[in-house]
Amino acid sequence: MMRFTLLHADRRTGARAGRLDTPHGSVETPAFMPVGTHGTVRALTPEEVRDAGAQIVLANTFHLMLRPGAELIGRAGGLHRFMHWHGPILTDSGGFQVFSLPRLRRVTDDGVVFRSPIEGSEIHLTPERVTRIEEVLGADIIMPLDVCLGYPADGAAAEEAHRRTVAWAQRGRAAHTHAGQSLFAIVQGGFDHRLRERAADEMAALEFPGYAVGGLSVGEPRTLTHELLQAVTARLPHDKPRYLMGVGVPPTVIEAVRRGVDMFDCVLPTRVGRNGVALTPDGRLTLRNAAHASDLAPLEDGCPCPACLGYSRAYLRHLFKAGEMLGPRLVSLHNLTFMARLVRAMRDAILEDRFDGWSGEVLARYRTAW
């Protein structure tokens, strides 16, 4: 079973440093989880992801269920063996993907119905079925089916989404039999402070081993994100990990850690990396810009990643101009290394009670918007 140890909270901000022990190894928190949608972190091997400093990866139940199917992964010995990643894995529930489908979905108290975007057949998902699929996949941490809303969401819709999310978390847990896995709760509640607070209180009372916060950073103003997040984490038990879903913009990650979040996942570092955008302490660096055409410096001075140790910006830019796969590989690797170093630096600052000063300096230097 997973165990979370809160090692220290920064004296001034309350930002947390901890450790998550899972059946497949430990994760130091704050932690950033690279996303391996189809059971592969895009363009990278598990060894590269690990060497970049990632200690846990996320895989998407929704995508894997559709292709290649949970049954095959179960026969292969579970997702760890199938994808050759032997560290901790977290699987989401598919809720976010289902509620992002453009058409053909029906939501009832029972669950959701949608058409497979791959071969068109009708698929029914209930909280119980999601739990069963996640048990077959065998991740260390799993998420229950939840109802995800976009921004803005009206009060009645947010209320209903919250009610179903709470009921589904309980049903998902009731169906859960795999002792080696930890099923987190997901706190929804839209963009109303009081509903978010109630959602946090109700989930906290149900005593889950960990708490995700969903439905934030989906287009609402940044100050609202911060306020709602603060309201939620203030109500969650101190001794359980908090996971802010789908967030990987460096400044937002820092602001969330300041508000007591321990875990993050996002496709951003690998997605922008595949497009030749590198994350650096000064913000985003776009390799296609002509300024880098003859720049023989590395992406980031002092970065220990393979891209920075072996290659110049001019060479990396050449790879993107020529459509060569090594470009997306190397910049994805750099960006994951950047995120791992960022959470590591936050952890060090927290353990030494200097998170406030550290974050002020880092945020001032990070110049681009996202």
Between residue 146 and residue 175, which ones bind a second copy under the rule CB under 8 A? none
Nearest distance in Å: CB 293, a second copy: 7
Phi, psi angles (nearest 5°) of residue 236: -90, 150
The yes or no reply on residue 67 touching a second copy (CB under 8 A) is yes
Which amino acid, 17?
A: A
Closest separation in Å from C-beta 321 to a second copy: 6
Q: Is 116 in the site for a second copy (CB under 8 A)?
A: no
**Residue 326: CB minimum distance to a second copy, A:** 5
Q: Is 288 in the site for a second copy (CB under 8 A)?
A: no
**Cα–Cα distance between 71 and 136 in angstroms, integer?**
7
Taking CB under 8 A as the criterion, the residue among 329, 334, 341, 347 binding a second copy is 329
Q: Using CB under 8 A, which residues numbered 10 to 39 contact a second copy?
A: 38-39
Tell me how far apart the alpha carbons of residues 231 and 225 are, in angstroms, rounded to a whole number: 10
Set 10, 92, 146, 262: catalytic member: 92
Write the DSSP assignment of 78-123 as a string of letters: SHHHHHT--S-EEE--SHHHHTT-SS-EEE-SS-EEEE-TTT--EE
Confirm or reject binding of residue 8 to a second copy (CB under 8 A). Answer: no
Shortest distance, CB of residue 319 to a second copy, whole angstroms?
6
Is 206 among the residues that bind a second copy (CB under 8 A)? no
Using the rule CB under 8 A, which residue among 17, 27, 31, 43 binds a second copy? Answer: 43
- Window contacting a second copy (CB under 8 A); options: 145-153, 212-220, 284-292, 326-334: 326-334
C-alpha dihedral (226, 227, 228, 234), degrees to nearest 10: 100
Nearest residue to 125 via CA among 146, 102, 142, 140: 146
Our answer to whether residue 265 is catalytic in this structure is yes
Q: Which of 326, 345, 362, 363 binds a second copy (CB under 8 A)?
A: 326
Beta-carbon contacts of 64 under 8 Å, excluding residues fewer than 6 positions away, are 38, 39, 70, 73, 79, 91, 137
User: What minimum distance in Å lies between the beta carbon of 85 and a second copy?
Assistant: 10
Q: Where are the alpha helices (DSSP H) in the chain?
A: 46-51, 61-66, 70-75, 79-83, 95-98, 127-137, 155-174, 193-205, 222-233, 250-258, 268-274, 306-310, 313-321, 326-351, 355-365
Active site residue ranges: 92, 265
Q: Residues interacting with a second copy, by CB under 8 A?
A: 38-40, 42-46, 63, 67-68, 72, 75-76, 82-84, 293-294, 296, 306, 310-312, 314-315, 317-319, 321-322, 324-326, 328-330
